[in-house]
Amino acid sequence: MVDLIGCMDRLSYRFKDDSLLHRALTHSSLAVEQHRMGEDNERLEFLGDAVLEHLVSRYLYDTHPEMREGAMTRLRSSLVCEGALSAAARRLGLGEYILLSRGEEQCGGRDKDSILSDAFEAVLAAVYLDGGLEEADRLVQAYVLSAETLENRTSSKDSKTAFQELIHADHKGRTIRYELVGESGPDHKKQFTMRVMVDETEWGVGYGPSKQAAGQAAAQMAMERFKQTCD
């Protein structure tokens, strides 16, 4: 038996139809083992993938007006990839609630990235079906779009280093610096604005939930501009 109440506590959400959560936590290996084909989380995972992409796309569109399509696509991909979602599932403690076959359990399935990421998408879909888009968005904001996650994902691209290498490849003596332009919002949801200067010329402006994330976004915008000038 799975502790649905415990899982709901982790999610900070009470299901009206807890059979949705039970289905979301049921891995296909258990459905096969118990001869209950189709009673697993794969269809919910399919829906959750679409809900997640929509919510992340809307967030990036609303909060990063400086980003070009290509940059938004790359950042979205890094936020919804298997590694990112399995990390979100681990922070949520989802692994202990997943229903697995005996064989999958013995093979360490409870900590497999593929199983965890699929379960996260399935649970997201279950929350969406039971509570609507607002509740699904709350879950995504907490575990996929948190300030820490965004900073790590944006930093992993290391746009600052890439931009520095682009500039210094042709202009070794030029100075690059990042300046805080402004900040807004309440303390728990700050939005920072940074700009990147090359010598005395502004090359890009970026926004983000931290100075580091905003600086990376500014560097990304500057790289897009640099590439346009070279085309």
Predicted confidence (pLDDT) per residue in 49-100, tens digit: 999 999 999 999 998 887 788 778 878 887 888 888 988 999 999 999 999 9
Task: Write down the catalytic residue from 40, 45, 49, 151.
Answer: 49
Task: Identify the CATH homologous superfamily for domain 4-145.
Answer: Ribonuclease III domain (1.10.1520.10)
pLDDT at 221 over 70: yes
- Is the domain covering 152-230 a CATH 3.30.160.20 domain? yes
Q: What's the pLDDT at 61? A: 93
CA distance 5 to 95: 15
In DSSP notation, 173-199 reads: T--EEEEEEEEES-GGG-EEEEEEEET
49 is catalytic: yes
Q: Which is higher by pLDDT, 53 or 227?
A: 53
CATH 1.10.1520.10 residue ranges of the chain are 4-145
Residues 6+ apart with CB under 8 A from 19: none
Confidence of residue 16 (pLDDT cuts 50, 70, 90): very high
CATH 3.30.160.20 residue ranges of the chain are 152-230
Task: Write down the catalytic residue from 40, 45, 66, 121.
Answer: 121
CA distance 226 to 7: 48
Contacts 24+ apart (CB under 8 A), 133-137: 133/51, 133/55, 135/13, 136/51, 136/55, 137/55
pTM for this entry: 0.66
Q: What's the pLDDT at 15? A: 97
